[in-house]
Amino acid sequence: MNNLKNTGLRSIAAAGLILTGIGLSACGGGTPTTQPTTSNPPTGTLTGGALIYSNTCASCHGVNRTGTTLAPDISVNSPRISGKTENALVVWISTHSPVPLSSAERNLLATFLKTP
């Protein structure tokens, strides 16, 4: 009877696969991206301007809009935002965004930047 032996080998192989899986997911994938794109996976349940910001702008301006070493603070009370109208922000975004955005998306983003 080989059955017992086979089962034993199979469960060892299965355990090996599971461990490999855990090892890989623990690594988390490595290098931070410097080239943001709208194809980044959405985080949480963000929608509208917050979602576009998260996908397109947060890599430089930070998830809380308070800036990183790559880009300045653009939180709602920062001079760069408080000193601009929403329309001026739409215009700025149209040339500044690293990816092409529709006019609806630019408007959503500008509204988001003006929202605490």
What is the nearest approach in angstroms of ligand HEC to the Cβ of residue 28? 22
What is the nearest approach in angstroms of ligand HEC to the Cβ of residue 30? 20
Question: Which residues contribute to the site for ligand HEC (CB under 6 A)?
Answer: 36, 56-57, 59-61, 70-72, 74, 80, 89, 92-93, 96-98, 109
What is the nearest approach in angstroms of ligand HEC to the Cβ of residue 79? 8
Are 46 and 52 in contact by the 8 Å Cβ rule? The answer is no
Of 52, 69, 64, 62, whose CA–CA distance to 110 is shortest? 52
Nearest CB to ligand HEC, comparing residues 25 and 34? 34
Nearest CB to ligand HEC, comparing residues 8 and 98? 98
Residue 109's Cβ-count burial label (10 Å; 0-12, 13-18, 19+) is buried
* CB atoms closer than 10 angstroms to residue 55: 19
Cα separation of 99 and 35, whole Å? 10
Nearest CB to ligand HEC, comparing residues 25 and 103? 103
The pair of structure tokens assigned to 71 is 């880009």
What is the nearest approach in angstroms of ligand HEC to the Cβ of residue 104? 14
Nearest CB to ligand HEC, comparing residues 29 and 89? 89
